[in-house]
Structure 1
Amino acid sequence: MLRSIQRSSVRQLATFSSPESVLPKKIGGKYTVTLIPGDGIGKEITDSVQTIFKNQNVPIEWETVNVSGLDNDSGVSEAVESLKRNKVGLKGILYTSTSKSSRSLNVALRKELDIYASLVLIKNIPGVQGRLDGIDFALVRENTEGEYSGLEHQSYPGVVESLKIMTRFKSERIAKFAFDFAKKNNRKLVTAIHKANIMKLGDGLFRQTVKDVAQDYSGIEVNDLIVDNASMQAVAKPQQFDVLVTPNLYGSILSNIGAALIGGPGLVPGANFGREYAVFEPGCRHVGLDIKGQNSANPTAMILSASMMLRHLGLNEHADSISKATYDVIAEGKSTTKDIGGTASTTEFTDAILAKLN
């Protein structure tokens, strides 16, 4: 069953699962959820969520799995097994080194479980001065192929070949996800982002597949934009966007642009869906190594991602109250973190949310 995002108010933050998703069963009146704190500020901002959930008696039991990309940890296998058991996870971002010998554990996790759809919500938050007003769009990003296929080799010293894999099957299912999301959430326009003017076969396939899928969704308009133009339009007039559907790399670029427009990566919630599993994490995938341990990180994105998780599990009242308290603290402006102009620490911001809730 699809779960909607109410556009009328940022305080009604929600999400939906893909039609095939299998929700976990309650055991002893509680859901068991996999918790992967991640690297950098991950533990600090997931601690914030745990504190709020405990205070509000949210019926969640955490199964914590510590995975780190800093040493290319093999803990991904443990995380995969935990998610297979629990079906739902809350995750911080795992560090990805530029070293030739290391792999992206974020990508590995999504590929292993075929968590193919990333959903990122870019919307102005009252109390935060963004670059522009009236921003409200959703970014649907394919998670498992494209430039992130991970197939590279050096054919000759100094010559590297990277394979960008694009398939009709995966382009079609991410397009269907985007249109299903638009239909359920009363969105009227889906825009396919591509570079088909140069990559005529790969991106051409993606662009055409989105347009083909659109034929099955009457009442929803479809158009397309070349990624470099889309980037310019996102900075110049983001209000024109409603739902963007993108291959992996372009979605990564546009989510960062969107975060900058509304006030930074600490404000952007996100989720990832597959046929059987759902993993919730900040939509703008920043590790925050430079501020690790300083108790200064903004946990808003993680809290709102966790609220999306609660709605996914049908815990709507908890989702509404926690997200509303978070937005109220930001709007009030007395206990906000440094990234959005305040002086509060992570724990002080969390305490202010608890005060609103109680």
Structure 2
Amino acid sequence: MSKKILILPGDGVGPEIVAEAEKVLAALRGDFGLDVATEHALIGGAATDAKGAPLPADTLALAREADAILMGAVGGPKWDDIERELRPERGLLAIRSALGLFANLRPAILYPQLASASALKPEVVAGLDIMIVRELTGGIYFGAPRGIEGEPGERRGYNTLVYSEPEVERIGRLAFDIAGKRDGRLTSVDKANVLEVSELWRETMTTLAEDYPGVELSHMYVDNAAMQLVRAPKQFDVVVTGNMFGDILSDCAAMLTGSIGMLPSASLDERAKGLYEPVHGSAPDIAGQGKANPLATILSLAMLLRYTLAEADLADRVQAAVGKVLDEGLRTPDIHTDGTRVAGTSEMGDAVVAALHAAA
């Protein structure tokens, strides 16, 4: 039976980068017989403009029916001053919550061709391959009560950081499973020296470790983890952490790879249904200029193939095609260095498709 993929281009450069991933998807259908059907819908600012909500009911209905979702990016200054519940980011938070996408997987992999583009010395980052597992539907982003109250000049804002033991156990088991399939090392990041919620997090992870004798568990405070990511990033294999800490650390890890434009992500439910998107934002400053890097979106498609469609061979082919394009010296402006050739968004996508065709 054909699998259904819902495509949500979103805002800013989203439509441009998603279009390149769709070219790759078409090549996989034509050359390798991938049996998928696609539908398109609105999310984010584009949805607010057209339908008055960042996650329209028809988009959510299609998302529930789909096997997987491929998204571009949401947001932009155009919507910064509108009512909070209508802002593009609320649509992203809402779809994650509605679909139970509790686990965010963010690989930070340095392609050897891009070692010189990293902000760190090549010897520090060469061979980098980290998987950050971020809890996505709990923590301070969703905790209640929350709000702003009081009279002007004396107002106070408040948010609630809360995790239940089942929430921590659920993300922990996934992280242990992933670590068991990699190098067998899991670092749990928290702030247990000052936060009670982190005490519960650490105790739960420690208890879980008894069920995974093949995985070495270590604990690290979030401030130290941020420093260690810059000092010696290759000490990490799999990192598991809460929503806010994971949001920050994954973006930090992104820049170790040379460009946030190279990093994909997956947000999964308990049955491996997922929403796949690049880590970078909507980049409204370059929207429509053909400068955006589509490789993170193409690699997000590779993750979709691997985790939801169980097409590991096709995922490997897409990743290999991206590597071949980088070997050929093509670079979008964000990863351009001396000795390489600047390519636009569409040219980069076409090159990946050509590499797939050649391999076929």
For the 8 Å contact 1:126–1:331, the answer to whether it is kept is no
| 2:63 pairs with 1:68 | no
For the 8 Å contact 1:93–1:106, the answer to whether it is kept is no
Alpha-carbon shift at residue 76 of structure 1 (Å): 4.0
- Percent identity, please: 32
Q: Which has the higher helix share?
A: 2
2:302 aligns to what? 307
Given candidates 319, 326, 333, the residue that maps to 1:323 is 319
AA aligned opposite 1:101:
E
Q: Find the aligned partners of 2:203 and 2:259 in 1 and give their Cα distance.
A: 33
| 2:188 pairs with 1:192 | yes
2:179 aligns to what? 182
1:240 aligns to what? 235
Q: Find the aligned partners of 1:87 and 1:322 in 2 and give their Cα distance.
A: 20
Let me know the Cα RMSD of the aligned residues: 1.8
Q: Which runs of 5+ in 1 are unaligned?
A: 1-25
Q: Which runs of 5+ in 2 are unaligned?
A: none
Q: Find the aligned partners of 2:350 and 2:106 in 1 and give their Cα distance.
A: 26
Q: Find the aligned partners of 1:81 and 1:230 in 2 and give their Cα distance.
A: 39
1:5 aligns to what? none
Given candidates 138, 146, 155, the residue that maps to 1:145 is 138
The 1:218/1:254 distance shift into structure 2, 3 A limit, reads same
Given candidates 219, 222, 233, the residue that maps to 2:217 is 222
String of CA shifts for 1:194-225, please: whole Å, max 9, x gaps.
111111x1111112111111111002111111
In terms of mean alpha carbon deviation, does 312-321 or 263-272 score higher?
A: 312-321
Q: Find the aligned partners of 1:134 and 1:127 in 2 and give their Cα distance.
A: 11
Alpha-carbon shift at residue 133 of structure 1 (Å): 1.9
Taking structure 1 as the reference length, what is the TM-score of the superposition? 0.86
String of CA shifts for 1:159-203, please: whole Å, max 9, x gaps.
1221112111101100011001111x232211111111111x111
String of CA shifts for 1:314-349, please: whole Å, max 9, x gaps.
33343222221111101221x221111141001111
> How many pairs does the alignment contain?
326
For the 8 Å contact 1:176–1:213, the answer to whether it is kept is yes
AA aligned opposite 2:159:
S
Alpha-carbon shift at residue 59 of structure 1 (Å): 2.5
Given candidates 156, 165, 168, the residue that maps to 2:150 is 156
For the 8 Å contact 1:127–1:332, the answer to whether it is kept is no
| 2:105 pairs with 1:136 | no
Taking structure 2 as the reference length, what is the TM-score of the superposition? 0.86
SS across alignment from 1:50: helix
The 1:99/1:208 distance shift into structure 2, 3 A limit, reads farther
1:268 aligns to what? 263
For the 8 Å contact 2:112–2:127, the answer to whether it is kept is no
Given candidates 8, 19, 24, the residue that maps to 1:47 is 19
AA aligned opposite 1:105:
G
